[in-house]
Amino acid sequence: MDAALAWQNAPPYERMLHMENRLRIAGGLSAIGMTAALGLAGCGGGSIGSVAGVPSLGGVSPASDSSAYIRHIVILVQENRSFDDFFATFPGADGAKRGLMKTRGGDQYIHLKSEPLESLSLAHQHLAFVHEYDGGKMDGFDDVALERKRGTRVPAGRYAYRYVNPNEIPEYWSIANQYVLGDHMFTTQSSDSFTAHQDLIAGGTPVGDKGDNVIDFPTPSSWGCEASREGTVTSLITPAGDYLKNSGPFPCFKYSTIRDLLDAKSVSWRYFTNTFEGGVWDAFEAIDAVRNGPEWSTHIIAPQTKIFDAISDGTLPAVSWVIPDALDSDHPGNHKDTGPSWVASVVNAIGKSAYWPRTVVIVVWDDWGGQYDHVPPPQLDGQGLGFRVPMLLISAYAKQTSSSQPGYVSHTQYEFGSILKFIERNWGLGTLGRTDRRANSLLDCFDFTQPARRFTPISTKHSKAYFLKRPPSGLPVDDY
């Protein structure tokens, strides 16, 4: 079989790559011209819509440097890990092998210990951040609570001064070695999971007319509009950084989110999430317009494993958030090692599908979980920034260090608003006008002048079938 026929028998995404690279060699293409030409790469000369049910790439006018290349963004949200906890020793990254700790004789450096992925949970609310940050000294990680069995808490001491042995998380390191690792992704708020998940859809949690933002979990611990109306309140952080405990409103918010911008431009979105007793782990649970509107039944998809169906049957929306089962979340205290395989299984499903050339997968951890990190976060306003978390970015156009070294470490300062800004600019949505306005977009992670890269599957300890067959745990991903 000659080369001209061999590529026609290749998987759909490889045919698209072949066509795109031929067009690049032939000369420059406009954004619209590239999209139109790639539509010819389907079976029998038809549009890409005829390939495994994947919709046409056309229909959205280019609005940024990425819009001609990216038609789908999938955001995988994991739990409670700092950058140093996962990538302290990654080559070329801003990691650390030792950390500062306060002693009676003053600050001293201690070596970080290489430990298993399974670990105990550390306090990581705003006041824990204040102790650990210590005015920028980054020496107070011993000065927070460590949760042991049955909810008992003791001082953390040296426990926080650790990092996960790379052999425990080979899927994450494999992704970083092939694609992009962001080593300066900061959380928007110096807080825990409730507001972190809000920041990933709204770029802030603004309430009232004084510039205050909601911070930390509601009291008592709850997730949003379904909480009891009797006595459930939130805490606030002021523009000056003053912490107002239990002074905020009921957690069913009316502020706008990226959903409003997507809907206004008819750009599709879905939120794939797990279920647990009493609800779902879903940022939109706290957004009144979604929780109490028709999109709750059409756009909130459970269980999260239905992301595999969307990939295989050609119904992947333009923007997806994917929230894991608690056991696959990397959350300390769960004593499970399945998180890296869960992430890699979703990446593999996309990489092996016709979606690969036009999809970017962003993996981010919602907060630092109290784990040690050595980089003082810039304090841009009263909310934060918070501590660094890892970010992985996977795309056919992910920037490469060199032809022999496919991975790339992006040192650009990012925050959760960076993800929102990338979405906004990719589809020309406008802006929410919050942290997405000030944040750097993710464009440093891409090279759209290079030929689209073929996908190499990530080896996993647990396969996609494992996650499809295993019953849901029924546990919340986080509860404080």
What confidence score (pLDDT) does residue 225 get?
Answer: 94
Parts of the chain with a pLDDT under 70 = 1-64, 149-151, 276-280, 479-480
Residues 6+ apart with CB under 8 A from 180: 392, 393, 394, 395, 398, 399, 407, 408, 409, 410, 445
Calpha distance 325→466 (Å, rounded): 13
What confidence score (pLDDT) does residue 376 get?
Answer: 98
What confidence score (pLDDT) does residue 45 get?
Answer: 31
> If you write DSSP's letter for every residue of 124-183 in order, what string do you get?
-SHHHHHHHHGGGT---TTSSEEE-GGG-EEE-GGGGSEEE-GGG-HHHHHHHHHSEEEE
The structure tokens 């459930």 sit at: 232
Helix axes 31-38, 12-26, angle to 10 degrees: 140
Residues 6+ apart with CB under 8 A from 61: 32, 67, 428
57: Cα separation from own chain's centroid: 24
Give the DSSP H or E segment for 110: strand 108-111
Calpha distance 132→161 (Å, rounded): 12
What confidence score (pLDDT) does residue 403 get?
Answer: 78
What confidence score (pLDDT) does residue 232 get?
Answer: 95
CB 137 within 8 A of CB 131: no
What confidence score (pLDDT) does residue 58 get?
Answer: 38
Q: What is the pTM of this model?
A: 0.89
What confidence score (pLDDT) does residue 152 get?
Answer: 78
Please name each of the domains of the chain with its CATH number: 3-50 (no CATH), 72-83+166-191+253-469 (3.40.720.10), 97-164 (no CATH)
What confidence score (pLDDT) does residue 276 get?
Answer: 63
Calpha distance 448→58 (Å, rounded): 18
Q: Please state whether the peptide bond connecting residue 62 to the residue before it is cis, i.e. omega within 30 degrees of 0.
A: no
